[in-house]
């Protein structure tokens, strides 16, 4: 019995080592696909992100639409998975397949992953089935119904299905995520509308489209502080979808910096004054030091927020080479409208030199 456990443990250790090497050291998956061939379970589709209509219980597709397929046990090399659309065609079955660069997805494979694919133009109006094939293994099928023209998108909230945090507020310029389905696969064909009850309206377009969300939607300027309605409309091949249901979003003031301590040593506390800091939830406040040299920005958690106009952060004792830094504050994802120049000197002293406005 002990010998069996030793053999199993050795094999598991070798497999884990090879998986770690493939994940961390290699630019593209090489070893994992071979390991998964021996251990992979059959792929399975859990659901398809697409609008529903009163006329049909099946997800509604239309040409040019991005659909999201929530699935398990697929290849982590996303472009090697294949998506099949099948429809009855007289006494035969018409099959359309999507593969390669037309498939995009997250990094959760082989765990729960949302694949985004376009609805093929070759599909005819009517019902069909969609499935996923991973090498020689094919998943279960989910039925769908192809419509003749776009219908309004369905919005579900501000976040993706796997998001751990969803926000319902933000300042002008903040990038947000709008969850939902029924979007155009082409970013510019999705118009995000922010409107007030007083008739003020501003538009934005997403930076990226997923089958279950619009990513990188910038809160437009020109909107007053307060609650606005958010809706989405698509324009696909000259056809308007109509407006989606609406979500409520609260426009807030971004933080603004006024000054900081003129002198502080490495390892000591730095006090920063301004406005619109979050005293109620200190974890929502972060300080960003952006070096002028070619190095990565440094994020520092705030030590305390005595008032809405003052925050305290501890300057690290190490990992801060001498030189000038842009000091910014982020409150709940909203960057400060200006920055301060923080000069870290070789003698271990820092001083806030001047204010920079963007």
Residue 39 confidence (pLDDT): 58
For 119-174, how does the pLDDT look when each residue is reduced to its tens digit (9 = 90+)?
999 999 999 999 999 888 889 999 999 998 899 999 999 877 666 667 788 889 88
Domain ranges in the chain with CATH number 2.60.40.10: 40-146, 154-251, 256-357
Contact between 155 and 230 (Cβ < 8 Å): yes
Residue 46 confidence (pLDDT): 92
Which helix (H) or strand (E) segment is 313 a member of?
Answer: strand 310-314
Cα separation values, 74 from 143, 255, 327, Å? 20, 43, 43
One-character DSSP codes across 134-197: ETTEE---EEEEE-SS----EEEESS-TT-S---SEE-TT-EEEEEEE--BSSGGGEEEEEE-T
Residue 197 confidence (pLDDT): 86
Residue 110 confidence (pLDDT): 62
User: What is the rounded average pLDDT of the residues 198-216?
Assistant: 91
Of 261-270, 284-293, 328-337, which range is least confident?
261-270
Residue 333 confidence (pLDDT): 83
Return the higher-pLDDT residue of 22 and 69: 69
Mean pLDDT of the chain: 83
**97 pLDDT tier (thresholds 50, 70, 90):** confident
Q: At residue 354, does pLDDT exceed 60?
A: no
Helix or strand or coil: residue 288? strand
Crossing angle of the two packed helices 31-39 and 2-24, in degrees rounded to 10? 140
- Nearest CA to 70 out of 111, 104, 113, 106 is that of 113
Q: Does domain 154-251 have CATH number 2.60.40.10?
A: yes
Q: Which fold has domain 256-357?
A: Immunoglobulin-like (2.60.40)
d(CA 95, CA 36): 27
85 strand-pairing partners: 96, 130
**112 pLDDT tier (thresholds 50, 70, 90):** confident
Residue 11 confidence (pLDDT): 62
Say how many C-beta atoms besides its own lie within 10 A of residue 143's C-beta. Answer: 13
Q: What percent of the chain has pLDDT over 90?
A: 40
Contact between 207 and 215 (Cβ < 8 Å): yes
Q: At residue 86, does pLDDT exceed 90?
A: yes
CA torsion, ordered 304, 309, 315, 321, to nearest 10 deg: 150
The CATH number assigned to the domain with range 40-146 reads 2.60.40.10
Phi, psi at 249, each rounded to 5°: -130, 140
Of 34-43, 153-162, 264-273, 276-285, which range is least confident?
34-43
Q: Are strands 247-251 and 169-170 parallel, antiparallel or unpaired?
A: parallel
Residue 274 confidence (pLDDT): 95
């Amino acid at each position: 019995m002990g010998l069996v456990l030793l053999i199993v443990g050795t094999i598991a250790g070798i497999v884990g080592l090879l998986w770690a090497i493939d994940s961390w050291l290699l630019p593209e998956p090489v070893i994992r696909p071979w390991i998964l061939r021996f251990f992979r379970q059959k792929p399975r589709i859990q659901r398809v992100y697409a609008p529903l209509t009163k006329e049909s219980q099946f997800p509604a597709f239309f040409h040019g639409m991005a659909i999201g397929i929530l699935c398990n046990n697929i290849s982590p090399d996303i472009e090697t998975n294949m998506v099949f659309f099948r429809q009855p065609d007289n006494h035969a079955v018409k099959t359309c397949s999507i593969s390669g660069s037309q498939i995009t997805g997250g990094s959760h494979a082989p765990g729960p992953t949302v694949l985004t694919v376009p609805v093929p133009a070759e599909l005819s109006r009517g019902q069909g089935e969609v499935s996923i094939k991973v090498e020689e293994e094919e998943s279960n099928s989910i039925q769908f119904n192809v419509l003749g023209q776009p219908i309004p998108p369905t919005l579900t909230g501000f976040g993706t299905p796997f998001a751990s945090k969803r926000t319902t507020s933000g300042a002008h310029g903040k990038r947000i995520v709008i969850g939902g389905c029924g979007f155009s696969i082409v970013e510019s064909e999705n118009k995000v509308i922010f409107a007030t009850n007083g008739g003020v309206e501003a538009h934005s377009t997403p930076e990226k489209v997923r089958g279950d969300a619009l990513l990188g939607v910038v809160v437009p300027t020109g909107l007053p502080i307060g609650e606005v309605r958010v809706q989405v409309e698509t324009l696909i091949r000259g056809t308007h979808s109509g407006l989606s249901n609406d979500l409520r979003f609260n426009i807030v003031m971004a933080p603004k910096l006024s000054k900081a301590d003129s002198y502080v040593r490495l390892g000591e506390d730095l006090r920063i004054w301004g406005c619109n800091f979050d005293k109620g939830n200190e974890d929502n406040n972060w300080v960003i030091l952006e070096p002028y040299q070619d190095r990565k920005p440094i994020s520092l958690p705030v030590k305390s927020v005595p008032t809405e106009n003052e925050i305290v952060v501890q300057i690290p004792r190490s990992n801060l080479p001498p030189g000038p830094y842009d000091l910014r504050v982020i409150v709940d994802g909203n960057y400060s409208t200006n920055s301060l120049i923080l000069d870290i000197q070789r003698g271990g002293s820092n001083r806030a030199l001047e204010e920079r406005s963007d």
